[in-house]
């Protein structure tokens, strides 16, 4: 038995609750503390800071980011290693905040799944609600993990390629043998379906809480990454039936009018990118793709000489700065569902339907009385329009990395990327090992099975 992922912080999660409650009722058992009441589990489920963080190291590796020669001299080793797709990202003295945070969320989820239904002083409906939510948190964390530290899902190899350990019990000591990509995806889908089977609530009071529409949206994202486009489409449409409101950027006076995450009508389920990755400089190719009338340039990006160090010429992702929010949403959203549906329609040969969905979104992103509509003569043309729109709509979130991974399976979209960093040239070939982030060597040293 090997030391679990919480090597860096051995504690029970109840000791770190940061919910709205001032305290949590606990009973000491030996040297540990245990959750007893249903309200304790609700407090754990509402522990926003501990359960919502979703990594983001991949943001620095994707094609949307570009470090100028001057900027390169001011970045730390982690940023430089990620930017150049290195085999080792962290120094021996460093930990992997992405890995730690995601497995911490999984541990919290496992604690809830293991104990909430037998907790005291709670209605069965309350217990079941918390129980269902935990499946969604766990599914989201594993979807992030498998797409960061595992190979891209490919039906031809998913049953043999190793990804990350599946930990489904709240054990402090456990084997960390890695499961296959297929096994991890199977668990993600199983968890999301379990949330539905346990009558997860349709519309919670806050978007940081899981919901039925969030489950449909996460299934849409999951199936998209698996290349199962019909299933992805069906679930995207179900999510849009429950929530389809879009922000009209024309109604904002400046970027600083952008709403915070918890008040954002586009957010279906809020999960946040680590703020340490905020404001990475965006590539010139991406910035130049915005037309003069596209408001996203002004409201999604911000000059690189405002409030960051090191400063740089150009622009970086700006929403977290403009809205003074508590993070950058990488959870599922209404725009994502429109774009997933549009892509799936294009792949199914329904060209006009794909274009219609694109234009629903674009209508809210352009200046008043300017042309925003696009058209396509073929499904291939429509698909290219969708993929271009994804780059603009999701800048600064790292989604481009996940798109690069999955599109590399298609010869029509394969591309070799080259970067120069501090005088050295680095290349990312299609489907190379550089598309899989390495597990921190410190963790492999403590748990050798992670390296197998």
Quick one: 313 and 356 in the same domain? Answer: yes
| Contacts of 232 by beta carbon, 8 Å cutoff, 6+ apart | 219, 220, 221, 222, 223, 224, 340, 344
| Contacts of 300 by beta carbon, 8 Å cutoff, 6+ apart | 255, 317, 318, 319, 392, 395, 396
Distance between CA 344 and CA 283 in Å, rounded? 27
Radius of gyration of the chain (CA): 22
CATH number, domain of 398, equals: 1.25.40.390
Quick one: 76 and 153 in the same domain? Answer: yes
Which pLDDT does position 55 carry in this prediction?
Answer: 87
Quick one: 194 and 319 in the same domain? Answer: no
The pLDDT-based confidence of 4 (bands split at 50, 70, 90) is: very low
Q: Residues 276-309: pLDDT tens digits? A: 777 889 999 999 999 999 999 999 999 998 877 8
216 within some domain = no
Quick one: 410 and 324 in the same domain? Answer: yes
3-class secondary-structure state, position 268: coil
Quick one: 377 and 313 in the same domain? Answer: yes
Quick one: 182 and 91 in the same domain? Answer: yes
241 within some domain = no
pTM recorded for the entire structure: 0.93
Number of compact structural domains in the chain? 2
Quick one: 446 and 406 in the same domain? Answer: no
Of these ranges, 55-59, 219-223, 307-311, 314-318, the one predicted with the greatest mean pLDDT is 219-223
215 within some domain = no
Q: Which domain holds residue 32?
A: 1-58+72-200+435-452
Quick one: 158 and 192 in the same domain? Answer: yes
Q: Residues 83-141: pLDDT tens digits? A: 999 999 999 889 999 999 999 999 999 999 999 999 999 999 999 999 999 999 999 99
Quick one: 270 and 321 in the same domain? Answer: yes
pLDDT of 417 higher than 90: yes
DSSP 369-423: TS------SSHHHHHHHHHHHHHHHTTTTTHHHHHHHHHTTSTTT---EEEEETT
Quick one: 192 and 274 in the same domain? Answer: no
422 within some domain = no
Quick one: 406 and 286 in the same domain? Answer: yes
The pLDDT-based confidence of 241 (bands split at 50, 70, 90) is: very high
163 within some domain = yes
pLDDT of 219 higher than 70: yes
Q: Residues 125-177: pLDDT tens digits? A: 999 999 999 999 999 999 999 999 999 999 999 999 999 999 999 987 788 99
421 within some domain = no
Q: Residues 335-382: pLDDT tens digits? A: 999 999 999 999 999 999 999 999 999 999 999 999 999 999 999 999
pLDDT of 257 higher than 90: no
| 315: number of Cβ within 10 Å | 22
Tokens at 444, concatenated: 């492999």
347 within some domain = yes
Quick one: 386 and 444 in the same domain? Answer: no
């Amino acid at each position: 038995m090997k030391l679990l992922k919480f090597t860096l912080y051995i504690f029970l999660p109840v000791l770190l609750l940061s919910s709205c409650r001032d305290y949590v009722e606990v009973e000491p058992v030996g040297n540990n503390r245990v959750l007893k009441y249903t309200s304790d589990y609700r407090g754990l489920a509402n522990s926003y800071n501990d359960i919502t963080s979703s990594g983001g190291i991949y943001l620095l590796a994707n094609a949307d980011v570009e470090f100028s020669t001057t900027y390169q001299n001011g970045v730390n080793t982690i940023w430089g290693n990620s930017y150049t797709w290195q085999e080792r990202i962290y120094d021996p003295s460093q930990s992997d905040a992405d890995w730690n945070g995601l497995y911490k969320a999984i541990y919290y989820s496992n604690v809830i799944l293991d104990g909430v239904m037998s907790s005291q002083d709670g209605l069965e409906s309350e217990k079941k609600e918390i129980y269902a939510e935990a499946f969604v948190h766990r599914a989201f964390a594993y979807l992030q993990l498998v797409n960061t530290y595992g190979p891209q899902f490919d039906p031809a190899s998913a049953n043999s390629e190793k990804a990350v350990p599946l930990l489904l019990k709240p054990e402090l000591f456990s084997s960390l043998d890695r499961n296959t990509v297929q096994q991890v995806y199977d668990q993600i889908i199983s968890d999301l379906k379990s949330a539905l089977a346990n009558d997860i609530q349709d519309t919670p009071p806050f978007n940081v809480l899981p919901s039925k529409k969030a489950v449909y949206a996460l299934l849409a994202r999951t199936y998209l990454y698996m290349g199962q486009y019909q299933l992805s489409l069906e679930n995207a449409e179900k999510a849009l039936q429950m929530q389809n409101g879009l922000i009209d950027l024309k109604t904002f006076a400046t970027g600083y009018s952008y709403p915070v995450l918890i008040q954002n009508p586009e957010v279906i389920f809020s999960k946040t990118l680590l703020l340490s990755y905020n404001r990475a400089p965006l590539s010139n190719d991406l910035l130049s793709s915005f037309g003069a009338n596209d408001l996203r340039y002004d409201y999604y990006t911000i000059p690189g000489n405002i409030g960051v160090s090191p400063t740089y010429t150009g622009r970086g992702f700006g929403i977290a700065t403009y809205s003074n929010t508590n993070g950058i949403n990488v959870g599922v959203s209404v725009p994502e569902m429109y774009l997933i549906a549009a892509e799936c329609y294009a792949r199914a040969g329904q060209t006009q339907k794909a274009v219609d969905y694109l234009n629903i979104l674009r209508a809210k992103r352009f200046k008043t009385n300017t042309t925003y509509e696009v058209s396509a003569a073929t499904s291939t043309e429509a698909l290219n329009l969708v993929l271009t729109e994804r780059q603009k709509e999701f800048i600064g979130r790292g989604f481009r990395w996940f798109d690069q991974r999955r599109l590399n399976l298609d010869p029509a979209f394969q591309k070799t990327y080259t970067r120069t960093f501090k005088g050295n040239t680095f290349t990312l070939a299609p489907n190379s090992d550089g598309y899989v982030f390495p597990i921190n060597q410190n963790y492999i040293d403590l748990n050798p099975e992670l390296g197998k």
